[in-house]
Amino acid sequence: QLAGPQRDMGLLISGGSDTTLLQYSLGIMNGTGMNVEDDNRNKNIVGRILLHPFAGLTVGGSFNVGKINPTDMAQKMNDIYRFGGEVHYKLGDLFLQGEYIRGIDQLHSASRVPVYGGCGGIVGYETKTAGSYTKDGFVVMASYMTPWSLEPVLKFDTYNSDVAVAGKRTNYTTIGINYYVNDYSRVQVNYVNVAESAGVMNDMIMVQLQAKF
């Protein structure tokens, strides 16, 4: 893998492969974040299904349904819902990818809700009053593998942390290139333009060396 073994702990059952029409995963998870012990008796139900109707094309969807603790443990547990859709298409050395995500937090009382960061993990919490909160986002990406082990990449992704409140959307435009040293390692150089409603100047230039063992 090209990332550390950070996972939400639980049990996952998978079937199918890239060469079958149907590929699926269904699991029961703690729902408390990466490598974190459970903090209640409820489990999250997660699932993902992929279809490969013909060579090069993959379409699918996923979900995550569970509960999180209220601030006052005497109150009713809060409900969380996560849904996603995805499509991937590979034609020769060209790869196109798109994904959409949507989340709903149904809070029955004032509660701390998770804030998600890189790799989808929980990086912190924020307190919100009772109510229904919806967030969403999508990403589209195109890459092309050249004969010289260089892969230019263009990506746009956007995330709105609360669709009912103005100024909560952030857009990221990435222009980058990957150099594959061999089958087990690559160097990435990316420029990321970050466009926030507040107009903060925080663009990034990132250089990474990735290796798998």
* Per-residue model confidence as pLDDT tens digits over 76-121: 888 989 999 999 999 999 999 999 999 999 999 888 777 765 545 5
pLDDT value of position 142: 98
Cβ(98)–Cβ(132) below 8 Å: no
Strand runs (DSSP E) across 92-168, as ranges? 94-107, 111-116, 122-128, 131-144, 150-160
pLDDT value of position 7: 65
Instruction: Encode 123-147: b = buried (16+ Cβ within 10 Å), e = exposed.
Output: eeeeebeeeebebbbbbebebebee
* Alpha-carbon dihedral 80, 125, 129, 135, rounded to 10 degrees: -50
pLDDT value of position 200: 72
Give burial (CB, 10 Å; 0-12/13-18/19+) of 44.
buried
pLDDT value of position 117: 57
pTM: 0.82
Question: pLDDT digit string (tens) for 10-54?
Answer: 888 999 998 999 999 999 988 766 666 766 778 889 999 999 999
Q: How far, in Å, CA of 177 to CA of 148, rounded?
A: 12
CB atoms within 10 A of CB 112: 16
How does DSSP assign 6-40, residue by residue? Answer: --EEEEEEEE--TTSSEEEEEEEEEEEEET---SS
pLDDT over 70 percentage in the chain: 88
Quick check: 3 pLDDT over 50? no
DSSP summary character for residue 120? G
- Domains annotated for the chain, with CATH where assigned, are 8-211 (2.40.160.10)
More confident residue, 6 or 149: 149
Quick check: 186 pLDDT over 90? yes
In the structure, what pLDDT confidence band is assigned to residue 126 with cuts at 50, 70 and 90?
A: confident
Q: What is the overall mean pLDDT for the chain?
A: 87
Q: How far, in Å, CA of 127 to CA of 70, rounded?
A: 10
**3 state SS of 118:** helix
